[in-house]
Structure 1
């Protein structure tokens, strides 16, 4: 055996010398030109493909999961914040209109996620011109792939939308008097795969699009408390899938009030064998957004761009700010108009609110000299009367901590010196209006009346007792000299 290894080593060494001789031999001018042309061709191809879009997994070239080309390879787009405006940008590349799909409608991705938390206004020239967290920064699961359905006209787009909205409530299709629900496949009663009983048979629910919103209704239906996890798995075993497209708003008292697409012989996209499952618990955090503070502290401020360089690294300004920086050598002296406000979230639950990422995965931000524990902790949107987003902001979890607590409650979490981040029970995480990115850039928004929406834990990445107190939808009056926020109502992000 040792002799054979020696022989192999000799062959490898000889091969290295041969390769070295070939690579270092003198080349003629013609050979050099051919090699240079070949390399240039590769570079040109990569430059041509940069930012290109393709749709994968659909029935044709104009529908499927969205993939974008960057840095020499194709990658997926996560469906966090993904909406029809982003799908419109994708489909514009095919001279079509589009609507968004979520949850890996056309299968899971096997490639790296290039983009996450993509927010578009709809008129961008390409998807890479939209706001997102940065190339390659994502914590998404393979099933969280964004997709698009592109069509030739607005009428066809409306047809697609109507098809997507044709879901019926479960109680409208099934006789709920003969239907039962249970968790199966676990030794403990608070977890397992979700099974529904009808016509003498138990069957599973398709995991496509399964989120904490649906899981929370299951736990409430079975009187098991709150949803700690929404799983798409075969860990608890499998059974025949009999229901697909389940969609809940998270405040339903039972599953039968939720919508669904099909029952019986259903088609379930995604990995075979994976079904909807939940883990329920009696103890969870619950953030309550203080809408009064938003109304009281909202105001306009004009700020020179040289004071906003840190915030620009976080994509906290609108796209025209970056265009100015690229084209104007004196961009630092331009000003941006910011709608500033304070956001305060009180933990009214019975357990601590903690970041979903473990501490060793937090990202250090050199500009702000602290760690980010969540990619996006809050989102801020300004919508026109047609419901279209005209401006937006987002808040990375710069410092998730106990800023204020109710009398008798001791502060536990502090971000100083790489401290643990979180919000204790009966304590509030407060983002003051003078902190970076605690604003919406309204420089390009015309004076008028708008809807202003602030949401914390907007993608339900952290489990909570409920989600209908996580967002404040307010009225916004914007003028040339002042802004007024009023009439805020709490709801779901």
Structure 2
């Protein structure tokens, strides 16, 4: 077995990946597929394999090159599989007139990149006796029973697998690059670029299906590898020794090169903040969109490779100023302000704005149509990109254990009535001794992300509530609904409209930093990483008024950060649903879980 001659190949192939920080400089590209035709669409799946050395690209001689080497090379380029070279592709071999370099490589198929294979050297003087260059026909495929969560970019995040009609995580015990290679190919990407055994992408309350996963590296899927099933108690605690919410198998996969990014951030305080400009039909311009949200900003930051989006920015031409922007009318350094795209709508999972719904701009004189209405002056949009975000996750077992029906006279609920915490029918009742039926529930929300959860509004915009004698920093931090089990229509809802964010409880190694002061103090609300904000069932307004709900079977739904005003690592875990039975005296909930985790 031979290793690479480092004084040559460390220049040609090898590069190290430091800890995951955005934005990061583009990695050196030392391996590529040269398409047969220059106008071939990206990503290139077939073509000549080329390596970069001393400022030039060279094709690789196919002597001693086999399927195993092809598999590793395609994985290195971001593709999970390959197919035999077709006769039409073979015909291009005769048309090359570029230098070929010989490279003696022997791979065993488990490597994550070509530089890990055994090789003697890259030779620039020895002839390529076959006279033929390596052609690759790499293939893409869809993910099968596996997905990633909480990653900022395509091909990264926490690993989740499907089992028993439910998505669950993989414990990071024994997790290594070979197992990550199998997972990446199963996901439809190439081989693994990086692997993590900690909470790199935040912690997770999800069920855990597998632990001690051990792969050779050539398996088709993780379940072909050796593994064990941990003993799972519930969404929050794992009874399996050594497997906790801090030990989540995570990875970064090699993904195909999608080429030039037709997007940019301009006129901000640095290159991760600013107005979004895009190139449409070879013309750079701005986006006009009245409905610009965090979903669209997430896609922008992902497409740029700048991580997550923490803010979606919007400013009208007539207002001129924005906290993150310079004078809008003075934006000339990055080109004009012509609108080239409007009415953008994304679900937040897209890899580029081209995959979102968009429309060409509409202009009538000096009026722009930006999606919602005609307006004087365009509504320009922007984004703030970041390395880290919070991630709200509900303590599901505590929710299940807290459910109770309470009966209270209306005269005891005057403060709650002032805050609209009762059903609409309560407004028409004059008898203060009339009884309201209240479904009480505890909502204990943990921040399992990588950044503190802070109110969306600035402290000067918070509301002082005299009844509770503190500031409420979020109008809608959580929403509670009871839905029909047949039609899924809402039959009752919680009307708690204001929340005061604080660190109610923290993990043993974390000190609380935020509190809900009973003084006019606006400066100290939030939820620290590793802490929870608990709204216990006995708190005022911590209920759903079910006075008008008949007996029957229903669905209880709790939605965290329902309008997604505060950006999170993963919003798919924000909606929790339970089966609920109610007989006008008692209520029982069961089978509570994250809706997006059910298959």
Check whether the contact 2:422–2:495 (CA below 8 A) recurs between aligned residues: no
Q: Provide the C-alpha distance between the structure 1 equivalents of 2:549 and 2:380, rounded to a whole number of angstroms.
A: 45
* Pair 1:453–1:270, CA change in 2 (3 A): farther
Q: Which residue in 2 is equivalent to 1:390?
A: 491
* Pair 1:194–1:358, CA change in 2 (3 A): closer
The counterpart of 1:281, out of the listed 362, 370, 386, is 386
Q: Provide the C-alpha distance between the structure 2 equivalents of 1:473 and 1:438, rounded to a whole number of angstroms.
A: 17
Q: Give the drift of 1:375.
A: 2.2
Q: Provide the C-alpha distance between the structure 1 equivalents of 2:504 and 2:462, rounded to a whole number of angstroms.
A: 20
* Pair 1:264–1:459, CA change in 2 (3 A): closer
* Pair 1:491–1:257, CA change in 2 (3 A): farther
Matched, 1:426 2:565: no
Check whether the contact 1:377–1:395 (CA below 8 A) recurs between aligned residues: no
Q: Give the drift of 1:360.
A: 4.2
1:288-437 correspondence runs (5 A): 288-325=393-430, 331-384=431-484, 385-418=486-519, 420-437=524-541
What do the CA deviations read for 1:155-174 (whole angstroms, capped 9, x no partner)? xxxxxxxxxxxxxxxxxxxx
Q: Provide the C-alpha distance between the structure 1 equivalents of 2:456 and 2:272, rounded to a whole number of angstroms.
A: 21
* Pair 1:357–1:294, CA change in 2 (3 A): same
Check whether the contact 2:469–2:518 (CA below 8 A) recurs between aligned residues: no
* Pair 1:228–1:398, CA change in 2 (3 A): closer
Q: Provide the C-alpha distance between the structure 2 equivalents of 1:399 and 1:256, rounded to a whole number of angstroms.
A: 39
- Normalized per residue, the structure richer in helix is 1
What do the CA deviations read for 1:33-80 (whole angstroms, capped 9, x no partner)? xxxxxxxxxxxxxxxxxxxxxxxxxxxxxxxxxxxxxxxxxxxxxxxx
Higher mean C-alpha displacement, 468-477 vs 264-273: 264-273
Check whether the contact 1:380–1:455 (CA below 8 A) recurs between aligned residues: yes
* Pair 1:450–1:203, CA change in 2 (3 A): farther
Tell me the SS of whatever aligns to 1:214. Answer: helix
The counterpart of 2:306, out of the listed 220, 224, 230, is 224
Tell me the SS of whatever aligns to 2:345. Answer: coil
Q: Provide the C-alpha distance between the structure 1 equivalents of 2:512 and 2:352, rounded to a whole number of angstroms.
A: 37
Q: TM-score, normalised by structure 2?
A: 0.48
* Pair 1:252–1:489, CA change in 2 (3 A): farther
1:17-36 correspondence runs (5 A): none
Q: Provide the C-alpha distance between the structure 2 equivalents of 1:446 and 1:249, rounded to a whole number of angstroms.
A: 36
Check whether the contact 2:465–2:472 (CA below 8 A) recurs between aligned residues: yes
Q: Provide the C-alpha distance between the structure 1 equivalents of 2:267 and 2:460, rounded to a whole number of angstroms.
A: 33
Q: Which residue in 2 is equivalent to 1:483?
A: 587
Check whether the contact 1:227–1:465 (CA below 8 A) recurs between aligned residues: no
Q: Which residue in 2 is equivalent to 1:202?
A: 284
* Unmatched runs of 5 consecutive residues or more in structure 1: 1-175, 326-330
Check whether the contact 2:285–2:339 (CA below 8 A) recurs between aligned residues: yes
Q: Provide the C-alpha distance between the structure 2 equivalents of 1:271 and 1:474, rounded to a whole number of angstroms.
A: 47
What do the CA deviations read for 1:223-244 (whole angstroms, capped 9, x no partner)? 2122122112254645332322
Q: Provide the C-alpha distance between the structure 2 equivalents of 1:264 and 1:207, rounded to a whole number of angstroms.
A: 10
Q: Give the drift of 1:444.
A: 0.6
RMSD: 2.5
Higher mean C-alpha displacement, 343-352 vs 429-438: 343-352
Q: Give the drift of 1:178.
A: 7.9
Check whether the contact 1:178–1:198 (CA below 8 A) recurs between aligned residues: no
Q: TM-score, normalised by structure 1?
A: 0.58
Tell me the SS of whatever aligns to 1:488. Answer: strand
1:43-82 correspondence runs (5 A): none
Matched, 1:445 2:546: no
Q: Provide the C-alpha distance between the structure 1 equivalents of 2:423 and 2:461, rounded to a whole number of angstroms.
A: 28
Q: Provide the C-alpha distance between the structure 2 equivalents of 1:265 and 1:438, rounded to a whole number of angstroms.
A: 47
What do the CA deviations read for 1:308-344 (whole angstroms, capped 9, x no partner)? 121111100101111113xxxxx22211111111111
Tell me the SS of whatever aligns to 1:219. Answer: helix
Q: Which residue in 2 is equivalent to 1:57?
A: none
Q: Provide the C-alpha distance between the structure 2 equivalents of 1:222 and 1:177, rounded to a whole number of angstroms.
A: 11
Higher mean C-alpha displacement, 302-311 vs 190-199: 190-199
Tell me the SS of whatever aligns to 1:450. Answer: strand
Q: Provide the C-alpha distance between the structure 1 equivalents of 2:362 and 2:460, rounded to a whole number of angstroms.
A: 45
Matched, 1:186 2:268: yes
The number of equivalent residue pairs is 311
Tell me the SS of whatever aligns to 2:494. Answer: strand
* Pair 1:406–1:178, CA change in 2 (3 A): closer
Q: Which residue in 1 is equivalent to 2:75?
A: none
CA radius of gyration, larger in = 2
Q: Provide the C-alpha distance between the structure 1 equivalents of 2:595 and 2:280, rounded to a whole number of angstroms.
A: 34
Check whether the contact 1:251–1:468 (CA below 8 A) recurs between aligned residues: no
Q: Provide the C-alpha distance between the structure 2 equivalents of 1:283 and 1:177, rounded to a whole number of angstroms.
A: 26
Check whether the contact 1:381–1:454 (CA below 8 A) recurs between aligned residues: yes
